Structure 1
Amino acid sequence: MAWNEPGSGNKDPWSGKGGDQGPPDLDEVVKKLQEKFGGMFGGGGGKSNGSDSGGGISLPGGIGIGAIALVLLVIWMATGIYIIEPAERGVILRFGAYSETTQPGPHWHLPYPIEEVYKVNVDQITSFRHKATMLTRDENIVDVELTVQSRIQDAGDYLFQDQNPEKTIRDAIETSVREVIGKSDLYYIMTEGRSAVAAQIKSNAQNMLIFYKTGLEITSVNTQPAKPPEQVKSAFDDAIKAREDKERLENKAEAYANEVVPQARGEAARKVADGKAYRDRVIAEATGEVSRFLAVLKEYEKAPGVTRERLYIDAVETVLSQSSKVMLDTKEGNSLMYLPLDKMMGGGTDTGYQYGGRGGYTPEAGRKQAPATETRDQSRGRRVR
Structure 2
Amino acid sequence: MSGLPDASFAPPTGRRWARRIGFAAVVIGVASYAGSGFYFVQPDERAVVRRFGRLTGAEKGPGLHYELPWPMGRVDRPKTTQVRRVVVGMSPEDRLLIQQGDVEAMMSSPQSDVLSGDINILKVTLIAQYRIGDPTRYVLRTIDPDGLVRQAVQATLIEALSRMPVDALLTTDRIAVRDAIEARSRALLEQYETGVTLVSAAIQSIEPPRAVIDAFKAVTNEEYERSRKIHDAERDADRRIRDAQARAYERVQEASAYRSQRLARARGEADAFLKQHAEYVKAPDVTRARLFLAKMEELLPRVRMIVLDEQGGESPIELKLIEPRGGGGR
**TM-score, length basis structure 1:** 0.54
Alignment root-mean-square deviation, CA? 4.6
The answer to whether 1:121 aligns with 2:43 is no
Structure 1 Cα separation of the partners of residues 129 and 64 of structure 2: 30
Task: Give the partner amino acid of 1:247.
Answer: H
The answer to whether 1:246 aligns with 2:230 is yes
The answer to whether 1:329 aligns with 2:313 is no
Structure 2 Cα separation of the partners of residues 281 and 139 of structure 1: 78
Structure 2 Cα separation of the partners of residues 35 and 283 of structure 1: 140
Task: Give the partner amino acid of 1:330.
Answer: D
**Is the 1:162–1:213 contact (alpha carbons within 8 Å) kept by the matching residues of 2?**
no
Question: Cα 1:249–1:186, aligned 2, differ >3 Å: closer, same or farther?
Answer: farther
Task: Give the partner amino acid of 1:110.
Answer: L
Task: Give the partner amino acid of 1:152.
Answer: I
Shift of 1:257: 1.7
Q: Deviations over 1:271-308 (max 9, x none)?
A: 255357548867987996xx99xx8xxx9xxxxxxx9x
Which aligned pairs between 1:200-239 and structure 2 lie closer than 5 A?
A: 200-224=180-204, 230=213, 231-239=215-223
Task: Give the partner amino acid of 2:38.
Answer: I
User: Which of 199, 217, 221 is the equivalent residue of 2:179?
Assistant: 199
Q: Deviations over 1:303-360 (max 9, x none)?
A: xxxx9xxx9xx89x95x8547x7542222247xxxxxxxxxxxxxxxxxxxxxx6564
Name the residue aligned to 1:104: 62
Question: Cα 1:244–1:227, aligned 2, differ >3 Å: closer, same or farther?
Answer: farther
Task: Give the partner amino acid of 2:217.
Answer: K
Structure 1 Cα separation of the partners of residues 125 and 224 of structure 2: 19
**Is the 1:162–1:212 contact (alpha carbons within 8 Å) kept by the matching residues of 2?**
no
Q: Deviations over 1:55-114 (max 9, x none)?
A: xxxxxx99997666444432321122121212223444556x464554332122222443
Structure 2 unaligned runs (5+)? 1-6, 90-111
Q: Is the radius of gyration larger for structure 1 or structure 2?
A: 1
Shift of 1:208: 2.9
Shift of 1:209: 2.7
**Is the 1:88–1:104 contact (alpha carbons within 8 Å) kept by the matching residues of 2?**
yes
Question: Cα 1:113–1:375, aligned 2, differ >3 Å: closer, same or farther?
Answer: closer
Question: Cα 1:78–1:273, aligned 2, differ >3 Å: closer, same or farther?
Answer: closer
Question: Cα 1:263–1:76, aligned 2, differ >3 Å: closer, same or farther?
Answer: same
Name the residue aligned to 1:265: 249
Structure 2 Cα separation of the partners of residues 184 and 68 of structure 1: 72
Identity of paired residues, percent?
A: 21
Partner SS state of residue 201, structure 2: strand
Structure 2 Cα separation of the partners of residues 225 and 266 of structure 1: 52
Task: Give the partner amino acid of 2:244.
Answer: V
**Is the 2:130–2:198 contact (alpha carbons within 8 Å) kept by the matching residues of 1?**
yes
Question: Cα 1:211–1:284, aligned 2, differ >3 Å: closer, same or farther?
Answer: closer
The answer to whether 1:178 aligns with 2:158 is yes
Name the residue aligned to 1:369: none
Structure 2 Cα separation of the partners of residues 92 and 282 of structure 1: 93
Task: Give the partner amino acid of 1:122.
Answer: T
Q: Deviations over 1:229-264 (max 9, x none)?
A: 622321232123212321332133224323431431
Question: Cα 1:331–1:255, aligned 2, differ >3 Å: closer, same or farther?
Answer: same
Structure 2 Cα separation of the partners of residues 35 and 65 of structure 1: 21
Question: Cα 1:282–1:141, aligned 2, differ >3 Å: closer, same or farther?
Answer: farther
Question: Cα 1:330–1:196, aligned 2, differ >3 Å: closer, same or farther?
Answer: same
Name the residue aligned to 2:148: 168
Question: Cα 1:253–1:117, aligned 2, differ >3 Å: closer, same or farther?
Answer: same
Task: Give the partner amino acid of 1:329.
Answer: L
Partner SS state of residue 241, structure 1: helix
User: Which of 37, 48, 56 is the equivalent residue of 1:80?
Assistant: 37
Partner SS state of residue 179, structure 1: helix
Structure 1 Cα separation of the partners of residues 116 and 36 of structure 2: 59
Structure 1 unaligned runs (5+)? 1-30, 43-60, 300-306, 335-356, 363-371, 377-385
Shift of 1:175: 0.7
Partner SS state of residue 205, structure 1: helix
Number of residue pairs the alignment of both structures matches: 276
**Is the 1:146–1:224 contact (alpha carbons within 8 Å) kept by the matching residues of 2?**
yes
Structure 2 Cα separation of the partners of residues 35 and 154 of structure 1: 66
Partner SS state of residue 310, structure 2: coil
Shift of 1:203: 2.5
Shift of 1:361: 8.2
**Is the 1:128–1:148 contact (alpha carbons within 8 Å) kept by the matching residues of 2?**
yes
Name the residue aligned to 1:14: none
Question: Cα 1:138–1:282, aligned 2, differ >3 Å: closer, same or farther?
Answer: farther
**TM-score, length basis structure 2:** 0.61
